[in-house]
Amino acid sequence: RTPHPRSATPTQLHSIDMSSIDLAKLTAAESPEDREAAATAVAKQVTSKNVEALMTKLKAELSNAGKTATNNRAGALCAMRKMMETSPTVAEPFVVADLALILAAAADKMKPVSTEADLTAKALIKALSTEGVGSVLPAILDEGDGKWQVNLLRAELLSTLATSAPKQMGRNLTEVVPVLSGLMWDTKPQVKAAATSAIAVVFACDTNTDIKEFVPQVIECILQPEKVPETVHNLAGCVFVQEVFGSSLALMAPLLKRGLDEPVTATKRNCARIIENMAKLVDDPYEVAAFVPVLLPSLERAKEEVSDPECRNVCGKAHEQLTRTSTKPPVWKRIELTKVLATLEGLTRLPGKIKGLSDTVASHTAALALSMLDLKNLKSADWVATLKPILAHPGFDDADKVIASLLETCAKEVQIEEEKEEADDAEQLCDCQFSLAYGNKVLLNQTKLKLKRGYRYGLCGRNDSGKTSLMRAIANQQVEGFPPATELRTMYVETDVQGELAEVPVLDFVVNHEGLKGLGVTPQMAREKLLSVGFAVDDSTMAPASLTKEVGRLSGGWRMKLALVRAMLLKADILLLDEPTNHLDPGNVKWVIDYLTSLTHVTSIIVSHDIKVLDQVCTHVLQIDQLKLNMFKGNLTEVATKYVPDLMSYFELKATKFTMRFPQPGPLEGISSRGKHIMKMTNITFTYPTAPKPQLTGVTVRVSLSTRAACIGANGAGKSTMIKLLTGELEPDKCSTGEVWKHPNARVAYVAQHAFHHIENHLEKTPNEYVRWRYEHGSDKEGLEKVTSKLTEEEELALSKPVLIDVADDKGVTKTMKAVFKRFTEGRRKIPKSKDQEYEIEWLSGFTSWVTSVKLNLLGFGKLLKQVDEKIAAKATQLVRPLTNKFVENHLNDVGLEPEFASHSRIGALSGGQKVKVVLAAAMWNTPHIIILDEPTNYLDRDSLGAMAEAINLYEGGVVIISHNAQFVDQVCPEVWHLENHTLNLKGSYDWLESANKEAAKVAKQADTYIDGQGNEVEIAKARKKASKSELKKIKKDIAAKRKGGQECYTDEELELAGFLPDV
């Protein structure tokens, strides 16, 4: 008995040597049984030596048309089937070559022939080597005569291939999907059912789990195109994180093309966004090449013709991304079948013919090799297992050598040579390849990261490119292939402190760190390290930072030092520093630079917007660009000069195509000049609880609509404290004689230094939802947290007691009575001929009355008055700024947050820079008259800073900025508030100061007397006012009476008073 060829040796296969095979019994057999027996006998005689001649005879019999040749055709097909069942590797190349004839025979009018054709085709696909899918698909996908029997068989064969060779079928879905989609519309129910069943199996060949749940909906759209908009809408919510291959695009392209042709704008927008997101995740441009001609023209048309500008913008971005993906450098070069075949022929040193191999076998061998190359499979064992059975034949004994040489040659053709690494002795800490996503956004796709000990890497990229997310992923052990914490100690250095730790003393904060506990760090060790970097022992010396001070009361600069101390004690192998010089004054910036450059055995990855810091610290630059990490040797300037000219554009502070627009404030009652102050602090003193000395002493500032002030000072000087006093988040000392005042109608936007505290409880909302939540009742919910407007328990108790009020009855008679306060109605009116205002109050007994602000302040209602003023000021904007989804989206877009992130992404999935824009936009929703920004530059890239500077220049309200970014401050702020030694020094140009001087001069001018240098009181000679007509009439009457009495009354003074001014 002949062994089964799949397990037989070449010698066993070639042991049967017959010069010819008699087909007489085969072609003469009339019954299926006889035909089976004859075909089996023929198949047993097949060898690699005689198979070609046999197949030539069988092909001729199969081509013999006519009713009289039915047995000939049926016998030939049966023999081919038996050959595939008994000797598949020998027969495969030849049966594959004749597959088109076999398929055509499935529609033969003679039942025996069509039946045998169906069985033979299925036997071929069943026995086919997995890499042979590409060889049989051309015949299966060819429509031919379009007969339904053939179409039914085609659908069944495609389903079988998808089951037996899913990887190989996945590489060919671009051609398969359109064919099966067409068969689903066949008029024959059998074909339609088979195609529908087959396409579900074929779609399963794509392994992308991101779109797996949407596959049934996509299939439904093929038969029910009216479901396209809804399916596209559902897909728009899909989070794409996996690498995208041609198989995924093959599934999606028809749907997306149909969606782009839909008349509904929202459907076009969603299609464009899906295309953009998928194109970003394509690593090899070859994967997307087949879809560019299908999708790019539709995107081109949409970005030019759609009426909605936001949709046009989305389509334009998708068009740009698809173009960029299709033109980027390949990661795997493609090779043609002719090239592989020529290489195979060349290995025999006999051009045009391979010794001992027929052309059919050679072509099939090359096709199998091409399939493995397409799958990027260069494993020698797989090549031998696939190709050696095909090449096994008498006289060809060097198959292993030929396969090895073919693999080596083809590998050189397809592989991209990697850049050579620099030669040094530095220890390699990690070498990994990974992808990274954050929320619904992919940040890095199949990128490599190599780090060496002692190097300092500057991590650069545009805002939202994923710098912070990458470092957090490394610190949290979320990067695939990165060494575990047991092998590599990594520390993420950050200044943000969780709320529950804000009240913990500095020393306890360090000692109780989980990582340090495991290393046996003692309180004494932590104490010594903290003292060495400048922390004081306690607060007795009023030092800006001490071991006993609460962490939440440290300035941003001292928080950074505290974080670095923890890293020192941890003895980390890798330091991850996100903006380490944020909040730092120049002295502390130099300290950080010196510390980092002294670490010769510690690797650092640093994110910073400060060019000088990166130039002085970095040995290498890591650039995030197009979802890849690119590494260059040198500091920032060197890399920008030699390798990446665009790198410096990340750091240039200039206005770009990216713009910001702040909402312009409305008019203020009683404010006719932009130089007149609308906020002020006069002679304010403030002391923190438990602090022995005041933090601020005698501070006086004025803020007007024209203010452009930069508040500067060393870390811990009290800049943020002063701003919190100005905005009402803190109250001055009760013993202070000073005053904090704000125009009752003035609206103020305040963005704190640690800006994210505004949104940390709303990470599940979109920015649009957050703004609408914050202002849903008219006033700013965040604003109600101010100390100066929040009632204490004692104050609430006092307001619940009866007070004496004056109430006028219907006849106008005023009487005094006792009443208990219930609520303010938010009614307010100005008292005629007075600067005071009245507020309407509803009393507990049910009646309402108007009470002056002076009396209400005396009765203890001052904080409630501030709340009422805030609500009335907020409501003043509601008519022109309705709190609708679209209006809020436009507002967020004006502040630099695109609609995609404003309305379609949750806050928790946004980058640091985007979160700052959310906080900024939310604070500015009520069109403030004054904007106060505490370190606004910390999380914004240079594009955003340039746009913000331009927005501030165009803004018609006042601006106060705390920042250590000298370049930004110099550009926008002519005024400087310098806090030093707990007092404030004013420098620069001040409109409010000029206005105050004019006001003082006016008051002095109105005084009656003054004290001279010797202490004498001197009366001021006042200029006479010109007399009115009635006064002149009275004077003339007096003069006439005096004349009648005989008195001389023509003095110069009398004439002047009478209005008769003498000529001079």
Q: Is residue 1016 part of a domain?
A: no
Range in 42-51, 552-561, 788-797, 1013-1022 with the lowest mean pLDDT? 1013-1022
Residue 558 has pLDDT above 70, yes or no: yes
Distance, in Å, from the CA atom of 160 to the CA atom of 133, rounded to the nearest integer, reads 11
CB 184 within 8 A of CB 223: yes
pLDDT of residue 39: 93
- 3 state DSSP class of 839: strand
What separation in angstroms does the CA of 719 have from each of 240, 544, 750, 893, 943? 44, 12, 14, 30, 26
Tens digit of pLDDT for each residue in 406-444?
999 999 999 887 666 666 778 899 999 888 877 657 788
- 3 state DSSP class of 774: helix
Residue 1019 has pLDDT above 70, yes or no: no
- 3 state DSSP class of 415: strand
Work out the burial of residue 181: count CB atoms within 10 Å of its CB; fewer than 13 is exposed, 13-18 middle, 19 or more buried.
Answer: middle
Residues 530 and 615 in one domain: no
Find the domain containing 267 and state its range.
237-330
Q: Is residue 222 part of a domain?
A: no
Nearest by Cα to 772 from 868, 883, 862, 614: 883
Q: Is residue 671 part of a domain?
A: no
What percent of the chain is modeled with pLDDT above 90? 37
pLDDT of residue 15: 38
Nearest by Cα to 606 from 498, 451, 487, 483: 451
Kindly provide the residue ranges of all beta strands, DSSP E only, lying in 687-801, ordered along the sequence. 696-704, 708-713, 739-742, 748-751
More confident residue, 945 or 313: 313
CB 440 within 8 A of CB 452: no
pLDDT of residue 1011: 47
CB 78 within 8 A of CB 33: no
Candidate ranges 75-79, 663-667, 934-938, 1040-1044; pick with highest mean pLDDT: 75-79
pLDDT of residue 8: 40
What percent of the chain is modeled with pLDDT above 70? 86
pLDDT of residue 37: 93
Residue 644 has pLDDT above 80, yes or no: yes
Residues 583 and 478 in one domain: yes
Tell me the β-bridge partners of 418.
Answer: none
Q: Which two tokens stand for residue 278?
A: 């998928």
CATH no. for residue 437?
A: 3.40.50.300
Tens digit of pLDDT for each residue in 871-883?
777 676 665 678 8
Distance, in Å, from the CA atom of 176 to the CA atom of 140, rounded to the nearest integer, reads 9
Q: Which two tokens stand for residue 152?
A: 């039914």
Question: What is the DSSP track for 952-999?
Answer: HHH--SEEEEE-S-HHHHHHH-SEEEEEETTEEEEEE--HHHHHHHHH
- Mean per-residue pLDDT for 598-619? 91
CB count in 10 Å sphere of residue 1014: 6
CB 41 within 8 A of CB 125: no
Residue 117 has pLDDT above 80, yes or no: yes
Candidate ranges 23-37, 79-93, 406-420, 993-1007; pick with highest mean pLDDT: 79-93
Which of 606, 633, 651 is where one domain is finished?
A: 651
Nearest by Cα to 870 from 782, 754, 992, 959: 782
Tens digit of pLDDT for each residue in 658-704?
678 999 888 887 788 888 889 999 999 999 887 788 889 989 999 99
Residue 1045 has pLDDT above 80, yes or no: no
Q: Is residue 15 part of a domain?
A: no
pLDDT of residue 1048: 60
851's CB contacts (< 8 A; 6+ apart) are 805, 838, 839, 841
Work out the burial of residue 44: count CB atoms within 10 Å of its CB; fewer than 13 is exposed, 13-18 middle, 19 or more buried.
Answer: middle
Residues 396 and 433 in one domain: no
pLDDT of residue 182: 94
- Mean per-residue pLDDT for 798-816? 79
How many helices (H) and strands (E) the chain has is answered by 45, 24
Range in 16-25, 115-124, 315-324 with the lowest mean pLDDT? 16-25
- If you search the block for the tokens 């790019």, which residue do you land on? 296
Residues 367 and 387 in one domain: yes
Q: Look at the chain and report how many structural domains it folds into.
A: 7
Confidence of residue 784 (pLDDT cuts 50, 70, 90): very low
Pairing of strands 603-607, 456-460: parallel
485 backbone dihedrals φ, ψ, rounded to 5°: -65, -25
pLDDT of residue 18: 41
Q: Which two tokens stand for residue 603?
A: 């690797």
Residues 720 and 803 in one domain: no
Residues 616 and 734 in one domain: no
More confident residue, 957 or 646: 957
Entry field: residues in the chain: 1064
Q: Which two tokens stand for residue 281?
A: 């995740």
Confidence of residue 450 (pLDDT cuts 50, 70, 90): very high
Tens digit of pLDDT for each residue in 906-930?
888 787 778 888 988 998 888 899 9
- Mean per-residue pLDDT for 942-958? 85
Confidence of residue 1064 (pLDDT cuts 50, 70, 90): very low
Residue 1006 has pLDDT above 70, yes or no: no
Distance, in Å, from the CA atom of 994 to the CA atom of 440, rounded to the nearest integer, reads 53
Query: Where are the alpha helices (H) located in 106-245, listed in sequence order?
Result: 111-127, 133-141, 148-164, 166-170, 173-183, 189-203, 215-223, 228-236
- If you search the block for the tokens 């690593």, which residue do you land on? 283
pLDDT of residue 962: 87
Q: Which two tokens stand for residue 1038?
A: 């007096």
Q: Which two tokens stand for residue 223?
A: 């038969």
pLDDT of residue 786: 59
1059's CB contacts (< 8 A; 6+ apart) are 1027, 1032, 1035
Residues 927 and 985 in one domain: yes
Distance, in Å, from the CA atom of 944 to the CA atom of 800, rounded to the nearest integer, reads 50
793's CB contacts (< 8 A; 6+ apart) are none
In SS3 terms, 512-553 reads as CCHHHHCCCCCHHHHHHHHHHCCCECCCCCCCCCECCCEHHH
Residues 390 and 312 in one domain: no
Residue 1063 has pLDDT above 60, yes or no: no
Encoded amino acid at 841, one letter? I
Q: Is residue 109 part of a domain?
A: no
Tell me the β-bridge partners of 576.
Answer: 492, 605
Residues 782 and 734 in one domain: yes
- 3 state DSSP class of 432: strand
Q: Is residue 484 part of a domain?
A: yes
H/E run at residue 49: none
pLDDT of residue 1021: 54
Confidence of residue 72 (pLDDT cuts 50, 70, 90): very high
pLDDT of residue 115: 94
pLDDT of residue 801: 84
883's CB contacts (< 8 A; 6+ apart) are 771, 772, 775, 776
For 376: left if phi > 0, alpha if psi spans -120 to 50, otherwise beta; the answer is left
* Mean of per-residue pLDDT scores for the chain: 83
- 3 state DSSP class of 798: helix
Tens digit of pLDDT for each residue in 489-509?
898 887 655 545 667 888 888
Range in 184-188, 360-364, 905-909 with the lowest mean pLDDT? 905-909
Residues 463 and 581 in one domain: yes
pLDDT of residue 385: 93
- Mean per-residue pLDDT for 367-383? 94
- 3 state DSSP class of 750: strand
Nearest by Cα to 406 from 359, 358, 362: 362
Tens digit of pLDDT for each residue in 311-357?
999 999 999 999 999 998 888 898 999 999 998 888 765 544 456 67
> What interhelical angle do 88-97 and 111-127 show, nearest 10?
120
pLDDT of residue 1015: 44
Residues 480 and 602 in one domain: yes
pLDDT of residue 629: 92
Residue 548 has pLDDT above 70, yes or no: yes
Please give the DSSP secondary-structure letter assigned to residue 329. P
Tens digit of pLDDT for each residue in 764-773?
889 999 999 9
Range in 717-731, 763-777, 799-813, 846-860 with the lowest mean pLDDT? 799-813
Confidence of residue 1049 (pLDDT cuts 50, 70, 90): low
Nearest by Cα to 468 from 891, 40, 910: 910
Distance, in Å, from the CA atom of 913 to the CA atom of 963, rounded to the nearest integer, reads 16
Nearest by Cα to 840 from 852, 850, 854: 850
pLDDT of residue 11: 37
Confidence of residue 12 (pLDDT cuts 50, 70, 90): very low
Query: Where are the alpha helices (H) located in 556-692, listed in sequence order?
Result: 556-570, 586-597, 611-617, 636-642
pLDDT of residue 1062: 44
pLDDT of residue 820: 86
Encoded amino acid at 904, one letter? H
pLDDT of residue 4: 39
H/E run at residue 358: none
pLDDT of residue 78: 95
Distance, in Å, from the CA atom of 1054 to the CA atom of 988, rounded to the nearest integer, reads 52
Encoded amino acid at 252, one letter? M
Confidence of residue 167 (pLDDT cuts 50, 70, 90): very high
- Mean per-residue pLDDT for 262-266? 91
Q: Is residue 1005 part of a domain?
A: no
Which of 364, 391, 414 is where one domain is finished?
A: 414
- If you search the block for the tokens 């953009």, which residue do you land on? 276
CB 38 within 8 A of CB 29: yes
Candidate ranges 86-90, 520-524, 729-733; pick with highest mean pLDDT: 86-90
Residues 599 and 553 in one domain: no
Distance, in Å, from the CA atom of 775 to the CA atom of 749, rounded to the nearest integer, reads 13
Q: Is residue 26 part of a domain?
A: no
